[in-house]
Amino acid sequence: MREHYAGIPDLYLLAKKINIPFPEKVLILAVEVKDPFEIKQEFSDEIKSQISEIKKKIQKNIKNFLRV
């Protein structure tokens, strides 16, 4: 199995190579997975019950990031 992965350093180098601008600052938001060895199409019950709160935190982080 071949993985298809490109991280931020890879994207930066690619942008530099093809001469396109790359942002000076990047905001990364993530939600930790319960079990990295289990693949499901839906969120876990723990995440489902907190979607509203997670959405608020994401919106707050994005607003703060864009203000700077």
Write out pLDDT tens, residues 10-50: 999 999 999 999 999 999 998 888 888 988 888 888 889 99
Q: What confidence score (pLDDT) does residue 66 get?
A: 93
Q: What confidence score (pLDDT) does residue 4 get?
A: 65
Indicate whether 62 pLDDT > 90.
Answer: yes
pTM of the model: 0.66
Closest by CA position to 57, among listed 25, 26, 33, 29: 29
Written as six digits, the tokens of 40 are: 């499901």
Amino acid at 12: Y
Whole-number Å distance between alpha carbons of 60 and 25? 17
